[in-house]
Structure 1
């Protein structure tokens, strides 16, 4: 019992230490990733400023829209219309255009001639050109029909009726019989469609053409002159002016409030800009494998997501406050009459709900291009949705009581859309704090104060005799909070089950497994077994742990393989990318993997670094099982991927500082470590230059340097010298040789020279399987063809004839360009000795040879033989 208690106590202390260390790591990683995000957005300062200050531009637009609407509405509001004086009628301009056309009806034409002559003089019109006189009725009526828009005004001076042809408006022009009285009758015809018609006020009187009014005054003046002339009286002078009737304003739009009515649609835009930007940045880090690079260097997924949430939260908080204070600046009633806290919660919760929806989508999306498309789609469709939901009438109609049951389900579905909850809360606030329509009284009401009490009370009323009930705003805010956590859970779930996020995917039911909740670890089992075999004393326990670690400081691969299924179940169409591999690599050893494209080298490294889930088997890195303890393995691992995992906006110094903090390099030696690392890869002069301006070789050198940050116990390098010039390549070779001290290094390459220079062991992979492994010398001796002799001669065919007849076991490798290459198996040393003696002592052969050389089998030859691509030519 005493031994059990001691063991239990020790396990508890170990657990507490582990959790404490994990919490510190999470805090440290989150902090440094937030710093990284700050650098990214500060370097993209124009985009960042747009995200933060776009609400100010929206408010500015609303001010202009409000002023424009007030200006347009004020045109129909006129208590004292201006008095306008008459002027001369403008002449009709154009080919065959007439200003006036007269028709004289009846027998008494004297007064009519006087009127025509007087009007023409008053307006300075020429008879026959500007003024035409119809000779018969058809010349008047039919002319208008056949020559539309050729005459401005027609005048009938009449004593009898004139019937107009095919006129839907006026069938005939009445001319009454005066019965001997001095009565002068005339009718004026003009085109009503050419006058300005008020399309917005159907109750307005018919428009009056000013030209028609001038003609009427001129005719009346001429008739008075004629009458005065007949009676010998003084000719009167008529001056006329006119004034419109007063126009009352439309009370239904008199207090129209653009902010209250169209605010939800426009205020929807800034949060959606933040939504699109954050989604595209997160997806970009996934598409460029930046997140995978962070994971391999030891960054947890929790730190990754928390850092992006904090970044998005800060940007959204700044943007929201910019919106609210801009609204205060422009004196918007909706904001002035409502508490700051309510507005902040509404806009911030809406933004955060959309951001969490964006995080959820980013776990599904794989490319930035698709992310941009999705963001634009959300923005455009969202604006259309908001233009509908912003209507107070629509909001009231969908909440009318006793509607069909399907309307309840519509509202329930809408409650999972953050934009609906946002519009509903904004409508509740705007329905009281801002100018809002009163449909019963048919007028706009001015806003009043919206209090915290209103926030928790429902809105009830009647619309067209139907009662509506709109639930309290606080309920909609609860819906926003629910949406936030719903999308959070979905993002967390998809992040685990989709391999494109963490590199490897968990089972669909991973949250129900003991391993996920940390209840089962293979390493812990090993330690417990070992504890049972030794004394419980702390010193002995420490020794035992060290023994376990000492036995597993290298890399041990046990039957690991990867199969890609084309169908749901296993079939013959499945692709075996990596077949079961068993391999052990000791400390201070550098293993080079070589193989043709598609041999499985990168797939194997991806499984060992946690970027891919093995189909079966496992591997142990310094006693940690990659199937269960990958998070611990990342702390002792370095990684140089095939493609550079770098941020173009960050400098080389900032990259090394980022990973130095992630790898827990103490602050007192951090700067010196970064400086030495930059010097080791010859990047000290480009330390403060953005990586986007680095050449390909410089980027690869930085990637190699990052893989060694924190002095990891194991380093994986996938073609580290790709794209380098020969000088840089040899420089990096030297660096890698120095890096392998006290470490395990696994490196892939296509360069046989690189493999031979760097490797302690070389493994040749073919079709997902390791065909052979050993030192370069061992591989050459085992798989090479033996000694190679190259002979230069003017007659290589004759020379080969002599040699082949004397040494039948010699193989012809190449005979071209005056060069003869012969190989002799290393197992036949006597044949090689015989060939050397022939070359040196046989006078006939030596005369044919101009020069010759001896070499061992090359690594290229070994590779070709192992991969079954070499061809032998024997005569």
Structure 2
């Protein structure tokens, strides 16, 4: 029940109060940006094609005619080299090519090609290497050769199975390159080989005429915007949240750095509730914008024109909500790692942008559609980043949209494009896995990360039983004596029959980066039903001690127990019933006074039905009833202090830790708080610190003095006054004349323990010690009677106050640090002697020449120069003390520019995947290939059988007698286009003994050559009657010159895209840093103070500009160094 109550109030604070009541404009703006970008996508979708008023046109099925492969003399290589130059090879090459040059070996041919490449612009255009070429002039049965086209002039993309860019509709056929060069060469080579084989073996059969026919393509949507929209959807979504992400991160880090979160934990808030509430506040924004964006994407702005027309809305919503979950957890990780909101925003923004732009720009740049060549593991690994995972999802969804079927739950595990190495289901599963990974990291780092407020747990805390099962065992270590090495002279004995609430045992605290002990071996007990006051000068260690008691900081050494529970290992149990009023007001600026009290009341296990009466009582006691609906930021300093005190008292907290609770209050309000605390002391344990000695004297049951991190003394006010008080002091105003010697003799003679302490001007002070009343009364009567003769104008007596005790203990502490002794080890005479020497020492500084003197600057120019130097010194000191931020604003642009340069070079030297060796058989498609053989003439059965066996040898599942191949194939394509493009690859139809048609699927790149090779193999087996006869063709491109390998148009486009992404992003971090310091000065009124001191506005802004220009010049120079080095 408490879990849901806390969750409700956290959601109420984060969503209702913060997002919609106080910052509704900011919330609207963060939601407006992604919706605007979604609307832009819808508008782009509404734009029509060049030949139509509609953005999408429904195209009819495409049926292709059969054709005969042939060689185009105009585009075919004019000069060809080959090897080996045997009789058989020479006969084939001379019959096909007019100009060719043969070489005896492959090595000789390679040497010639290498020299030609270096000495000419384009090198050799075609080389042919025969595998089986007998030297005795005989003709081999099998035909085996490798064609090596110059890759500069003839690029067959042998490294790709499918085109890198897949768009709706049939792929371009590249007639000049494939039909009239490669396939024509294959057909000519086979024809001449068969002629030589028939002549050599006297074969009687005649070879069939080989024709080719491309598979038909079903009806499809002609969509010219597909390529652009498939990239823009994810990009617009990611950059749409570029405003939301830094605002969200800043709010969470600000809560942590201002200690609000730790205060909520002390008030009873559990970590699970906090993170769920924080997550929900960000998730709600992304969820609402996702739903509205998807509704916009599904709107048909024109017939058949929607951004996502066919995809299932529920699936799209699931993916967007999954993305929102991962993105929020991704951002929350940055809130764990950083305590400074500015630094956290910078790093989270860099992470947000780079987690999308870097993988997509590096792997799949807009100028080069590399999706089909990206490895499976790379796609899945990058999907661990929410932004990149969303990119891959929308790439696949766009492919489904291009097929006219859209993504749905039924095809979630289907390939969106043939031969794809991932499915949408796999990407979604990785994104689900990333949610668990980010959640576990958030949970783990939040518990063990040492560089944040709170007590970090052991790195293996999740293996400890105490983490999973709340321990209620009493800590036996709390029974140890907390004060075992102190002198009874300055430490009063503890009260009888009173329970101990808080025990500090030998507690020491050292902060990182220093050896100084903020708290040094401090031991103290705080008792139930009492007000314990912790006194000490600034920096004595009071607040550090209280922070360790509350668990804000872990002690370096020692133990802190709260009601028997160790604050380190049993933090949750120890903090039960805590009420904390920190030294600095920890308030929510966007919440009213009443909302504060309701919020903290709800965090505690208090009866909900009485919350209104309880809040009204607190408001009445603190005199805040008329401010109940005033925002915290609108309160005065004293009222803010009252509200902080009210937050600690709300919910009937049994332990109140109050750090200077009345600081900034007026005397009347302070007195009212004293009365309230005295009423509460009966049923609570109260520990407070104060700088008002009167307050300590009035409230403290026990007062503990801390100096130099050590406990100096502890006891009731009366006990401390007796131990450290100097007794009665008599102040006498001297008349003229005054017999000082006679006066001194009269006083010391009557009160033996008295002595003169000071004689300055017209006043003399005597310390009477603690004389009995029988001595004091005669002395006063004597002085009153003889005041004229002694020269007394007036006199008065005062008793020791807590301020006197405070000053004396502080002096003794300083002396003990100097002498290496402790205050408790010195007797009263030593104390007085040391204090008197210190007074004499400090009096030496009363001379006039000890004070610094300043010369007045005369003249306008010298004053301007001095002001300019002071303003530059101000910026220099600010930069020196906040060195991390300037270094960061310089390093981030340098890093981004280096990445840009490396990616640009990578693009300029892009590897040519088309230089791979490719054997024209169905090996790359083996295992899932379906083919067909069709004939209705029984007399050609031997040729049909040869065709079937040739396919079966390459693991093709053959379907026979399919009827009309076009109708058969269109029927399959209409049922499942992805299966049609991925499995139905080749086929053959036999029309008598004179004609053989090689069918091929035109969507993969090389199936035309493979199907033609199958037909040649079938024809060769038919002619020879041998089932193991084979035609083997390999395409192995020749490398061209480097100048021709740089595809200038694509490179320039990609370079511009890289520049447009990285350069503005890099300079944005640098330029935004120039806004921070002037804004900070304006908000903190430092600028106003400088202008009021006489600094001209022109000089103020001029020095600001010159300093920022200097930083910009340093950064620009630093950026150019790695760029020049890389170039």
2:19 to 41, 44, 63: 41
Higher mean Cα deviation, 357-366 or 797-806? Answer: 797-806
Q: Please give the residue correspondences for 1:513-552 in structure 2 after superposition, counting only pairs within 5 Å.
A: 513-518=464-469, 522-523=473-474, 552=499
Structure-2 residue corresponding to 1:150: none
Distance 1:62 1:389, change over 3 A: farther
Structure-1 residue corresponding to 2:1016: none
Larger RCO (CA under 8 A, 6+ residues apart): 2
1:306 to 269, 276, 280: 276
Unpaired runs of 5+ residues, structure 1, are 1-23, 75-250, 435-445, 462-467, 528-549, 567-572
* CA deviation map 1:644-690 (0-9, x unaligned): 11111111111111111222332332111111111111111110111
Q: Quote the offset at 1:579 in angstroms.
A: 1.9
Are 2:271 and 1:294 equivalent residues in the alignment?
no
- 1:626, 1:633 within 8 Å by CA — same for their partners in 2? yes
Aligned residues, how many? Answer: 626
CA distance in 2, matches of 1:367, 1:71: 53
Higher mean Cα deviation, 621-630 or 415-424? Answer: 621-630
Are 2:484 and 1:506 equivalent residues in the alignment?
no
- 1:496, 1:502 within 8 Å by CA — same for their partners in 2? no
Structure-1 residue corresponding to 2:1092: none
CA distance in 1, matches of 2:312, 2:222: 28
CA distance in 2, matches of 1:818, 1:330: 98
CA distance in 2, matches of 1:806, 1:44: 72
Q: Quote the offset at 1:618 in angstroms.
A: 2.3
Q: Quote the offset at 1:29 in angstroms.
A: 1.2
CA distance in 1, matches of 2:506, 2:469: 25
Q: Secondary structure at the match of 1:655?
A: helix
Are 2:408 and 1:451 equivalent residues in the alignment?
yes
Q: Please give the residue correspondences for 1:403-802 in structure 2 after superposition, counting only pairs within 5 Å.
A: 410-411=378-379, 413-434=381-402, 447-461=404-418, 469-501=420-452, 503-518=454-469, 522-523=473-474, 552=499, 554-564=501-511, 566=513, 574-795=515-736, 798-799=739-740, 802=743
Q: Quote the offset at 1:399 in angstroms.
A: 4.2
Structure-1 residue corresponding to 2:317: 344
Structure-2 residue corresponding to 1:52: 31
Q: Quote the offset at 1:346 in angstroms.
A: 1.7
Distance 1:856 1:865, change over 3 A: same
Are 2:838 and 1:865 equivalent residues in the alignment?
no
Q: Quote the offset at 1:619 in angstroms.
A: 3.1
Distance 1:448 1:802, change over 3 A: same
Q: Quote the offset at 1:525 in angstroms.
A: 8.2
* CA deviation map 1:621-664 (0-9, x unaligned): 33333233321232211110011111111111111111112223
* CA deviation map 1:81-111 (0-9, x unaligned): xxxxxxxxxxxxxxxxxxxxxxxxxxxxxxx
Distance 1:796 1:715, change over 3 A: farther
Distance 1:630 1:551, change over 3 A: farther
Distance 1:801 1:321, change over 3 A: farther
* CA deviation map 1:281-311 (0-9, x unaligned): 2111101111011011111112111111222
Q: Quote the offset at 1:806 in angstroms.
A: 5.8
Structure-2 residue corresponding to 1:811: 755
Q: Secondary structure at the match of 1:515?
A: helix
1:822 to 749, 763, 766: 766
Structure-2 residue corresponding to 1:217: none
* CA deviation map 1:828-854 (0-9, x unaligned): 878756743542354665x51121111
Distance 1:713 1:519, change over 3 A: closer
Q: Secondary structure at the match of 1:503?
A: coil
Q: Quote the offset at 1:362 in angstroms.
A: 0.6
- 1:73, 1:254 within 8 Å by CA — same for their partners in 2? no
Q: Secondary structure at the match of 1:646?
A: coil
Structure-2 residue corresponding to 1:176: none
Higher mean Cα deviation, 779-788 or 833-842? Answer: 833-842
Q: Quote the offset at 1:809 in angstroms.
A: 4.8
Q: Secondary structure at the match of 1:308?
A: helix
* CA deviation map 1:540-581 (0-9, x unaligned): xxxxxxxxxx97463233333323354xxxxxx622221223
- 1:563, 1:615 within 8 Å by CA — same for their partners in 2? yes
- 2:356, 2:388 within 8 Å by CA — same for their partners in 1? no
Distance 1:681 1:394, change over 3 A: same
CA distance in 2, matches of 1:410, 1:601: 55
* CA deviation map 1:719-740 (0-9, x unaligned): 1122223332223222222222
* Higher CA-based Rg: 1
Higher mean Cα deviation, 775-784 or 809-818? Answer: 809-818
- 1:639, 1:715 within 8 Å by CA — same for their partners in 2? yes
* CA deviation map 1:119-171 (0-9, x unaligned): xxxxxxxxxxxxxxxxxxxxxxxxxxxxxxxxxxxxxxxxxxxxxxxxxxxxx
Are 2:296 and 1:326 equivalent residues in the alignment?
yes
Q: Secondary structure at the match of 1:727?
A: helix
CA distance in 1, matches of 2:371, 2:576: 56
CA distance in 2, matches of 1:700, 1:800: 53
Q: Secondary structure at the match of 1:350?
A: helix
Distance 1:725 1:796, change over 3 A: farther
Q: Secondary structure at the match of 2:466?
A: coil
- 2:323, 2:431 within 8 Å by CA — same for their partners in 1? yes
TM-score norm. by structure 1 comes to 0.66
- 1:333, 1:447 within 8 Å by CA — same for their partners in 2? no
Q: Secondary structure at the match of 1:363?
A: helix
Q: Please give the residue correspondences for 1:156-235 in structure 2 after superposition, counting only pairs within 5 Å.
A: none
Distance 1:817 1:734, change over 3 A: farther
Q: Quote the offset at 1:53 in angstroms.
A: 3.9
Are 2:232 and 1:262 equivalent residues in the alignment?
yes
CA distance in 1, matches of 2:738, 2:378: 91
Q: Please give the residue correspondences for 1:66-85 in structure 2 after superposition, counting only pairs within 5 Å.
A: 66=45
Structure-1 residue corresponding to 2:252: 282
Higher mean Cα deviation, 258-267 or 670-679? Answer: 258-267
- 2:400, 2:416 within 8 Å by CA — same for their partners in 1? no
* CA deviation map 1:697-735 (0-9, x unaligned): 111001111111122221000111222233322232222
CA distance in 2, matches of 1:796, 1:724: 46
* CA deviation map 1:311-336 (0-9, x unaligned): 22322221210111122235463422
Q: Secondary structure at the match of 1:450?
A: coil
Distance 1:797 1:359, change over 3 A: farther
Q: Quote the offset at 1:275 in angstroms.
A: 3.3
- 2:455, 2:551 within 8 Å by CA — same for their partners in 1? yes
CA distance in 1, matches of 2:278, 2:260: 14
Unpaired runs of 5+ residues, structure 2, are 54-220, 479-496, 815-833, 844-1127
Structure-1 residue corresponding to 2:4: 27
Structure-1 residue corresponding to 2:947: none
Q: Quote the offset at 1:473 in angstroms.
A: 0.6
CA distance in 1, matches of 2:477, 2:732: 62
- 1:264, 1:390 within 8 Å by CA — same for their partners in 2? no
Structure-2 residue corresponding to 1:101: none
- 1:386, 1:423 within 8 Å by CA — same for their partners in 2? no
- 1:791, 1:853 within 8 Å by CA — same for their partners in 2? yes
Q: Quote the offset at 1:390 in angstroms.
A: 9.9
